[in-house]
Structures are given as C-alpha cells and as structure tokens.
Amino acid sequence: MGAERVAVVGIGQTKHDTIFDGSIAGLVRTAAERALADARMTWADIDAVVIGKAPDFFEGVMMPELYLADALGAVGKPMFRVHTAGSVGGSTAIVAQDLIAAGIHKKVLTVAFEKQSESEAMWALSLPIPFQPPMHAGAGGYFAPHIRAYMHRSKAPDHVGILVAVKDRLNACKNPYAHLHEHDITFDSVKDSMMLWDPIRFSETCPSSDGACAMVLTDEAGGDAAAADGRPPAWVHGTAFRSEPTMFAGRDQVNPQGGQDCAADVYRQAGISDPRREIDVVEMYVPFSWFEPMWLENLGFCAEGEGWQLVEAGVTQMDGDLPVNCSGGVLSSNPIGASGMLRFAEAAMQVRGQAGEHQIDGARTALGHAYGGGSQFFAMWIVGAAKP
Amino acid sequence: MAEPELLVAPNVIEYPFSRTTGPMIGAFMTALREGFIVGCTAADGRVIVPPVEYDPDTAEALTEVVEVGDAGVVASWSWVREPLDGHPLDRPFAFALITLDGADVPMLHAVDTGGDVAAMATGMRVRARWADEREGSILDIACFEPEGAR
C-alpha cells in the first residue's frame, strides 16, 4: 500500500466457456470493454494498461501483450506484462494498484486472460525432466500427493472434497459468467465421477476455460467521483505477494510458508486481527476441491488441521458465516491466467454489491486470493466498501 | 587422457496448438483460400493488409473488409542467398514488403526472380503466384514474382 488510496470502479469479464469464438485479442477486448463501460470510461481515459496471463507456452504465443496493445487501447501508453504462473491474475491487479498507490498513474486498466481452447496446459505442465522418470501429468498429478498428505495429516474424511465440489458448482449456477452450470450435480454424481488423480475425481477438478477478466482502478478522487455518481467503488485495504522456490529441504507443500506470510501481511495492512470474524466473504483459488480446507488453514481462518471441519459444518456455504467462492470459483471456471483476477474482481463485486444472485447481503470486507506454480506464488488483496 | 563420457538425455517437447482467428484474420484466410486478398479500412481511411481487428491509432473495432489487388509494388526487400528448411522457396529469393494495389501499408511475402538478385529492385511491380491447392493459409500465395514474368 502506498500513500494514495486505490478504488476499483469498473469490472468486466467474459462468459467463461469451452471456446470463446474469437481471437485472443477479441477475448481480452470483450472483458476490457465491459470494465470500461462499468467505470463509465473510454479508452482515452486510461493512463496505463497492466496485463497478465499464465506461461506463454500454454497457447504458444510468445509475449502476446505485444500484439494486444491495439486491442487494449494501449498504443502510446505504458503497458506492462506480469508473469507469476496461476497466481498471475492476482499479481497483475496488484501491480496495477501499485502504480496508482505510488502516485504514478490515476486510472489503470488491468486485464488477465487464458484461452485454453488454443492451449495445451495439461501437457505444457507435464514437461519431462532429463534423467528423471515422468512422474505426473498435468497440475492434478502434481497436487494430488499434496492432498493425500493433507488428508493423512488432518485425518479428514474422504467426502470433504466432494462437499466443496457440490457447493462450488451449485454456487456457479447463480453466476451467469461461470463456465459450468451443472444444475443436476449431487453428492453421489461427484462421488461416482471418474477418479483422475487419486484422490481427485473428475468432478472435483477445474474445467479448461476460455475467459478474461478486467478491472479499472483509480486514485481516491476517481473512487469518490464514482461514489458520488451512485456507483460505489471497492476500496483496496491491503495487497500482498509472496513467493518461494518449488522445492527446498523442509518445504511444507501442504501449508506453504509463503501463503501464511502473505496472509499475515495483507491482514496487517487491512487492520484485521481475526480474519474469520472480520472478513465477510472469500474468493480463494481452489482448482481442486481439497484446496478449500487446505487454504482455510493456510490463510489463518482456523487452526491447522481444522479446515475440513469448517467445510463439513457448512461454514463456507453461501449461508454459512464465512462464504467461500460464491461465484463458483476456479472449480467452475478456469481461464488460468484470469482465474486469480476473477477472485480479486469477485471480492470487489461483493463489497460493491454487484454480485447479483451470488451476492452476500451486506458484505463489507472481502478477501481475494490466488496461488500459482507448485503452490509457490501467492497474491492476495482485501477490499472494502468503506475507505481504508 | 580419455575423453570424459558425457551424460546426454533426449528432451523432446511437442504438443499441438490451434487458433481461433477472429473476424478479420479469418476473413483474410478465407479469401486466400478463394484466391483473392482482403484488407480492412482503418479509422483514418487507410487500407491495411492483412486486416487488423482494432485500429492502431484509435483502438476502435474495425469491421470494414475490402478487397485489394494481388499485384503491387516492392517497398523494401532483403535477399536470401541460401534458403533454409521452412523458407517458401528452395532457391535464392527476396523477402519483400509489398504494397498491394489498393492498400496503403505493405505486407511481407517472398519474391521469386529465378534466383537472380539483379532482377530485384525497390519500386518494381510484382504479382502473386497462387498455390495449386489452397487451404486458407498465407502459403496459399506461393510467392510473388516480377509482373509479366510469365
């Protein structure tokens, strides 16, 4: 956080889907136009553009931002690209907010995207390592042992992941932009779905989505102007980013230090001492169902080993006291590079009161969370309805 | 002393990509398959080939597709003395920026002069030599050749 207060005054996203029927330029453009419209702005109003996506080899377009300058009205303006694997949508928003907090720009457009229909993320994440036997395929193969370790440590029963999957997919039915709208999903349908990477079942896994998310961030004057116009902004109360290497001796991949430190930092900035009580709604990055209880612990919403008990007790349901992923989350839409920004944007939508059918009434303080790489990059922000 | 034995392991990474071209490059590719070339009209009235989705100056969405000629003028060129695998021709040729008739900005393609660099000149007129089988690719234009070459 810098000296200048930062407000989110415009949010846009595409309908996340198996295929966005257009170019990558058309995809980012659609989200950006919606964010500008929400902010009542035009391209000329924007001072700078900050864009992020997951690694370039997913779509096989090197440095796509170079050709997206036209589509994002960035010609003749500063344009920055952010790279932090799956957490990139969150860290991209943080870079944009930093430019305003530091007093460098007043109005910044930030955009994140992925076009998985043109991509091979599954195999791009299965790169063979010379002299080592291939041990995993895709992100699920990488994270399944972490989940097994969590279940072993916490003695969580097998059905906790199923509960998360059913909750998130039913929440997604209230979100018109979500990729999956599985109205018929049940505990048994998830339980009976194919085991992909034991213990992760097909229905406990995120989909492959095309999608983009965009936000317009402004300085305090911009936030005040939006509020005066009857369009309440979301005020940024804290942002934090942490990273750690993929592997080092003694690393705890189930409850990574980087995530704990990142959460502690963002709570300190926002003046939060009891996150469970003080945060009204959470959008966390849960690409595989079991990461909800794991991140509940990592983010300090409960003691280590107790996350699954919150899930089982219904605390994270929309009518629980700590609703998690009311939008349907990554489990229901996963345009990878955009997924982190969607968490940040959905948190902002909640405190702006614009989340429609998945709105939590009276939400005043929300946490947006993203992680990436091998659970090694963490990006978080706290947004509020009131000024910090 | 004997040469040390180096440990070597193959590391081949291969997977396919696909592209959704969008309305403008899609129109360009479709026209190539049909044997003609299109561009688009920019906000300032210039005709840009290949067409672009968004105006380079104003960022507005561009939608007006216009046909241009399949012949034009070489604006600049660079001679390739020793073609490599993957080059459009297997004998010496020029990569050239060609301003097609009806266009205001040049497009990159290859010019075949039968291997004769002396036949290349800035300002010369060239015409597309179309591939026998076209599939909606920039290689549907096999290359350009000096106008009146055959």
The token pair that represents A68 in the structure block: 């997206």
Which residues on B lie below 8 Å from A19 (Cβ)?
Answer: 20
Contacts of A129 in chain B (CB under 8 A): 11
* B59–A70 CB contact, under 8 Å: yes
Mark yes or no for CB contact B54/A70 under 8 Å: yes
Domains contained in chain A, CATH given: 7-120+210-234 (3.40.47.10), 138-207+237-384 (3.40.47.10)
E-only strand ranges, chain A: 7-13, 48-53, 79-82, 107-115, 195-197, 200-201, 210-218, 234-243, 281-283, 365-372, 377-384
B6–chain A nearest CA distance, Å = 13
**Residue A120 to residue B9, Cβ atoms within 8 A:** no
CB contact under 8 A, B56 and A124: no
| Residue B116 contacts residue B99 (beta carbons within 8 Å) | no
Written as six digits, the tokens of A17 are 């889907």
In order along its 388 residues, chain A shows pLDDT tens digits of: 458 999 999 999 999 999 999 999 999 999 999 999 999 999 999 999 999 999 998 898 899 999 999 999 999 999 999 999 999 999 999 999 999 999 999 999 999 999 999 987 877 777 777 777 666 678 898 999 999 999 999 999 999 999 999 999 999 999 999 999 999 999 999 999 999 999 999 999 999 999 999 999 999 999 999 999 999 999 999 999 999 998 889 999 999 999 999 999 999 999 999 999 999 999 999 999 999 999 999 999 999 999 999 999 999 999 999 999 999 999 999 999 999 999 999 999 999 999 999 999 999 999 999 999 999 999 999 999 999 9
Answer yes or no: are the C-beta atoms of A337 and A24 closer than 8 Å: no
For A62, other C-beta atoms within 10 Å of its C-beta total 8
Number of neighbouring beta carbons within 10 Å of residue A45: 16
User: Would the CB atoms of A120 and B56 count as touching at under 8 Å?
Assistant: no
Report the first-to-last Cα separation within chain B, whole angstroms: 65
User: What residues of chain B lie within 8 A of the CB of A131, using their CB?
Assistant: 7, 9
Question: With an 8 Å Cβ cutoff, is A123 touching chain B?
Answer: yes
- Please state, in angstroms and rounded to a whole number, the distance separating the CA atoms of residues B100 and B37: 9
Tell me whether A41 touches chain B (CB under 8 Å): no
Interface test with B, best of A70, A111, A127 (most B CBs within 10 A): A70
- Chain A residue closest in CA terms to B19: A118
pLDDT-based confidence at residue B16 (cuts at 50, 70, 90): confident
Measured CA to CA in angstroms, residue A53 lies from A24, A39, A196, A239, A360 at distances of 11, 23, 26, 19, 29
Strand order in the sheet with A107-115: A79-82, A48-53, A107-115, A210-218, A7-13, A234-243, A377-384, A365-372, A281-283
B contacts of A73 (beta carbons < 8 Å): 59
- A67 reaches B (C-beta below 8 A): no
| Cβ within 8 Å, pair B54-A60 | no
